[in-house]
């Protein structure tokens, strides 16, 4: 570290140079991310509240109140305005909190197996490792949703929890959460729904007349839901969300802290010091956009997604993996290795997500038709250059 600091101008100049190679959501090359350029109003509110620390809510009681209201608004969106929870660092922390809660609720009972679909996000692997739990990964059906028969067959006396995904990371499909809920009720098991991505879409898809399977607290067996404002909520990072069905479940991980400057408190999150700005920015966005604002954003993303799907279907050597439920499209190739295609596309500057047998495109609000047109041109060129041929 320097003895004498640089001027602000010098630092900014250096940063400009050092960060030049980072991609930007505005340059049209990021087609594989679940994040986007945060809404300008959310950025402003975030900056206005930069010092708020929800780890010490006694100092910022009104921020804590706004966080509660935010959770209640998200709860209302997910059919339970009485839900309790927090704005956390992201989907990973939310999923860890859910499994931690499931474990603590069982006390000393020996239950260590968590049933997850094969499509579950790797945050569950992290959670299981941290919590000393065993993930039992269940195969998917022909529509890439968890196979209910296999979940049912897997439940045993060591089962601690079941996880269902509402918007899978790879393809954006929704597991049959209604059936998982029935199983959870029947076997008295904790059911966590990972709607990190889908939670900000499904309620609006339904209002727009798209098919949107049930996934939320309206299903009796659902104990908790992950829903991330820093994905389709357009809030700056870090803004994840964890919602529990009721206070009893929520308070399972509450830790008493006595020494805080703001007075004795409890913390039910993994991290201690945490961003009040993220919670306030989420509150601000929910109030600023309202249901209609979010619905309009989802509408535009879906219309573009469906246009893109038709284009993909009309081209040689590529196809979609499954009809999209939300703004996530899986592209598979015929006659050429998907890995080779992805490598060439990346070399051309495209930031796409690569899964074992498909490329994932996420039509986030920053994606324009012109970006997708350029991408499809490059994709065709790449496939040609790899010598694709009909079998
Ligand atoms: C379904 C799902 N859950 C959880 C996560 C993890 O979220 P984060 O990266 O905010 O920790 C993701 C991230 O892509 C996801 O797709």
The mean pLDDT value for 130-143 works out to: 98
Q: How many CB atoms lie within 10 A of CB 107?
A: 8
What would the pLDDT profile of 361-378 be if each residue is shown by its tens digit? 999 999 999 999 999 999
CA atoms within 13 A on the CB side of 105: 21
Instruction: Decide if pLDDT at 388 tops 90.
Output: no
| Nearest-atom index, ligand 1, CA of 195 | 1
Determine the distance separating the centroid of ligand 1 and the alpha carbon of 384, expressed in angstroms.
34
State the Cα–Cα distance between residues 300 and 382, nearest whole angstrom. Answer: 29
Cβ(196) – ligand 1 distance below 6 Å: yes
327 and 305 Cβ atoms separated by less than 8 Å: yes
Separation of alpha carbons 203 and 208, rounded Å: 9
Q: Is 92 in the pocket of ligand 1 (CB under 6 A)?
A: yes
Q: What stretches of 188-340 adopt beta strand conformation (E)?
A: 190-194, 222-226, 240-244, 255-257, 265-267, 318-320, 328-333
SS3 23: coil
Residue 45 has pLDDT above 90, yes or no: yes
Query: Is-above-0.95 flag for pTM?
Result: yes
Q: What is the mean pLDDT of residues 38-49?
A: 98
Q: What integer pLDDT is reported at residue 389 of this predicted model?
A: 74
Q: Going by CA atoms, what residue is nearest to atom 6 of ligand 1?
A: 91
Q: How confident is the model at residue 38 (pLDDT cuts 50, 70, 90)?
A: very high
Provide the pLDDT for residue 391: 59
How far apart CA 124 and CA 168 sit, in angstroms, is: 13
Q: Name the closest-CA residue to atom 16, ligand 1.
A: 169
DSSP 60: -
CB 67 within 8 A of CB 87: yes
Q: How many angstroms separate the alpha carbon of residue 389 from the centre of ligand 1? A: 36
Q: Give residue 104's pLDDT.
A: 97
- Pocket probe for ligand 1: among 123, 126, 202, the residue whose CB has the most ligand atoms within 8 Å is 123
* Ligand 1 in reach of 175 Cβ (< 6 A): no
CB 90 near ligand 1, within 6 Å: yes
pLDDT tens track for 205-263: 999 999 999 999 999 999 999 999 999 999 999 999 999 999 999 999 999 999 999 99
Query: Residue 163: CB within 6 Å of ligand 1?
Result: no
Q: What is the DSSP letter of 178?
A: H
User: Distance between CA 347 and CA 360 in Å, rounded?
Assistant: 17
What are the tens digits of pLDDT across the range 177-202? 999 999 999 999 999 999 999 999 99
* Cβ of residue 221 lying under 6 Å from some atom of ligand 1: no
Alpha carbons within 13 A on the beta-carbon side of 75: 22
Decide: 194 in ligand 1 pocket, CB within 6 A.
Answer: yes
3-state SS of 210-251 is: CCCCCCCCCCCCEEEEECCCCCCCCCCCCCEEEEECCHHHHH
Q: Is the CB of 239 under 6 A from ligand 1?
A: no
Element at 66 (helix H, strand E): helix 61-77
Ligand 1 mean position to 35 CA, how many Å?
10
Rounded mean pLDDT of 135-158? 98
The domains located in the chain, with CATH, are: 8-38+291-385 (3.90.1150.10), 40-288 (3.40.640.10)
CA 197 to ligand 1 centroid distance, Å:
7
Report pLDDT for 236: 98
Tell me what pLDDT residue 25 has. 95
């Amino acid at each position: 570290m320097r003895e004498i600091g640089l001027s602000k101008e010098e630092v900014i100049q250096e940063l400009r140079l050092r960060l030049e190679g980072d991609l930007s959501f505005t340059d049209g090359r990021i087609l594989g991310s679940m994040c986007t350029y945060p809404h300008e109003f959310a950025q402003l509110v975030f900056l206005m509240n930069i010092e708020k620390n929800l780890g010490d809510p006694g100092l910022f009681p009104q921020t804590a109140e706004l966080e509660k209201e935010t959770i209640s608004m998200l709860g209302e969106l997910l059919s339970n305005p009485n839900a309790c929870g927090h704005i956390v660092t992201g989907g990973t922390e939310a999923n860890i909190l859910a499994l931690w809660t499931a474990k603590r609720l069982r006390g000393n009972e020996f239950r260590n197996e968590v049933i997850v679909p094969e499509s579950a996000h790797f945050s569950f692997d992290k959670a299981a490792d941290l919590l000393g739990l065993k993930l039992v990964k269940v195969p998917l059906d022909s529509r890439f949703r968890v196979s209910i028969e296999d979940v049912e067959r897997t439940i045993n006396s060591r089962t601690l929890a079941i996880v269902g995904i509402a918007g899978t990371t790879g393809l954006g499909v929704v597991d049959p959460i209604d059936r998982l809920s029935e199983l959870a009720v029947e076997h008295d098991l904790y059911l966590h729904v990972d709607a990190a991505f889908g939670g900000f879409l499904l309620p609006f898809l339904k209002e727009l007349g798209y098919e949107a399977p049930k996934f939320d607290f309206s299903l009796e067996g659902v104990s908790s839901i992950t829903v991330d404002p820093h994905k389709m909520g357009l809030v700056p990072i870090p803004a994840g969300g964890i919602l529990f069905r009721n206070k009893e479940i929520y308070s399972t991980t509450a830790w008493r802290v006595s020494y805080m400057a703001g007075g004795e408190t409890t913390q039910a999150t993994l991290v201690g010091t945490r961003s009040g700005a993220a919670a306030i920015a989420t509150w601000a966005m929910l109030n600023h956009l309202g249901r209609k604002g979010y619905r309009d954003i989802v509408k535009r993303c879906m219309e573009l997604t469906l246009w893109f799907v038709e284009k993909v279907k009309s081209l040689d050597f590529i196809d979609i993996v499954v009809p999209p439920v939300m703004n996530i499209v899986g592209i598979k190739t015929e006659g050429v290795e998907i890995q080779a295609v992805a490598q060439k596309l990346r070399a051309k500057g495209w930031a796409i997500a690569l899964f074992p047998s498909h490329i994932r495109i996420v039509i986030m609000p920053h994606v324009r038709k012109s970006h997708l047109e350029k991408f499809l041109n490059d994709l065709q060129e790449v496939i040609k250059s790899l010598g694709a041929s009909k079998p």
